């Protein structure tokens, strides 16, 4: 399986609108970050995407995406789901399957109510097949995506585990029971928004500690804000990762699992 980072930015994206800080003006392409999302391509050509934020169309064009077997969602914050309308060209033949936790799926029915009760024929609405993730996992061809409950401040969100890979974004706590679900993961993507503490996100340091507690050999930081450049984060991560190889992710990065 390969994992392509479609976006690695926090909710504002980088550059941040109206910000002129050095990171937002950086000429390093790795400092430009769309909202966080990954594209998974399985060995039998399964295509899954985790989250579809406001830049989904641009991300999908850049990645050459022509279909989605399943869209896995982590939670219903705008930066993770507000690109869902843009799946329209991908659901001409059949609806796009979207899987999340019960709260998120209920929220999507409200947020995209127009998709479920179109007012007139011919109006362009996405065909969405929403379902709640069973704890046993979601089959996507030969892949099985297992939901991993996480805490994002006080709200429950889902991480996803697919084989030896796990994607844990928008989290400030991993509940004790979720470590068992993550046992055996070797490559983990973790929310490490910045080095300063934040009430609803891990710091870079905590993200790497969590990757090491999980036992991963490689950790990629995502959902990154404009406090540090990519080059600075590379140094910070390699100094912090003692039992795993830790790096910041960047948009367009492809990793082999």
Cα Rg of the chain (Å, integer): 17
Among 19, 231, 239, 254, binds Zn ion (CB under 5 A): 19
Structure tokens at 76: 């219903």
For Zn ion, which residue of 33, 82, 218, 226 counts as binding (CB under 5 A)?
A: 226
**Cis (ω within 30 of 0) for the bond into 15?**
yes
Give the SS3 label for residue 116.
helix
Q: 143 or 166, CB closer to Zn ion? A: 166
Q: How far apart are CA 160 and CA 99, in angstroms?
A: 11
Segments of 54-177 assigned E as strands:
70-72, 96-100, 128-132, 138-140, 143-152, 155-162, 165-168
Q: How far apart are the C-alpha atoms of 119 and 123, rounded to whole Å?
A: 8
In the set 21, 61, 144, 231, which binds Zn ion (CB under 5 A)? 21
Chain residues 156-185 in contact with Zn ion, contact rule CB under 5 A: 170
Residues forming a β-bridge with 247: 220
For Zn ion, the binding residue among 4, 31, 51, 79 (CB under 5 A) is 79
Query: Residues 32-71 vs Zn ion: string with x where CB under 5 A?
Result: ----------------------------------------
Length of the chain as a residue count: 257
Piece of 17-25, 26-34, 85-93, 123-131 that binds Zn ion (CB under 5 A):
17-25
By CB under 5 A, how many residues form the interface with Zn ion? 9
Closest approach of Zn ion to the CB of residue 195, in Å = 15
| Choice from 12, 16, 198, 255 touching Zn ion (CB under 5 A) | 16
Measured from the CB atom, the residue of 31 and 46 that comes closer to Zn ion is 31
Q: Min. distance of Cβ 25 from Zn ion in angstroms?
A: 8
Q: What is the dihedral of CA 208, 224, 197, 212, to 10 degrees?
A: -10
Under the binding rule (CB under 5 A), the answer on residue 155 touching Zn ion is no
Nearest partner of 3 among 46, 57, 35, judged by Cα = 46
Give residues in contact with Zn ion (CB under 5 A).
11, 16, 19, 21, 24, 77, 79, 170, 226
């Amino acid at each position: 399986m390969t994992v392509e980072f479609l976006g690695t930015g926090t909710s504002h994206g980088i550059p941040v609108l109206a910000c002129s800080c050095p990171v937002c003006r950086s000429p390093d392409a790795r400092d430009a970050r769309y909202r966080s999302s990954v594209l998974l391509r399985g060995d039998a050509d399964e295509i899954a995407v985790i989250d579809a934020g406001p830049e989904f169309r641009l991300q999908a064009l850049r990645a050459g995406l022509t279909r989605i077997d399943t869209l896995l969602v982590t939670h219903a914050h705008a930066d993770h789901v507000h690109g869902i309308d843009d799946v329209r060209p991908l659901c001409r033949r059949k609806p796009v399957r979207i899987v999340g936790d019960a709260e998120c799926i209920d929220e999507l029915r409200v947020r995209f109510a127009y998709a479920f009760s179109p007012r007139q024929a011919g109006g362009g609405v996405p065909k969405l097949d929403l379902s709640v993730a069973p704890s046993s996992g979601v089959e996507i061809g030969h892949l099985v995506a297992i939901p991993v409950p996480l805490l994002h401040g006080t709200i429950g969100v889902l991480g996803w585990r697919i084989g030896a890979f796990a994607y844990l974004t928008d989290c400030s706590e991993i509940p004790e029971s979720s470590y068992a679900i993550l046992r055996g993961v070797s490559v983990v993507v973790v929310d490490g928004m910045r080095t300063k503490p934040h009430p609803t996100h891990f710091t870079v340091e905590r993200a790497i500690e969590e990757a090491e507690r999980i036992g991963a050999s490689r950790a990629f930081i995502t959902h990154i804000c404009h406090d540090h450049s990519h080059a600075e984060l590379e140094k910070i991560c390699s100094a912090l990762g003692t039992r795993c190889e830790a790096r910041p992710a960047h948009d367009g990065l492809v990793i082999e699992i």
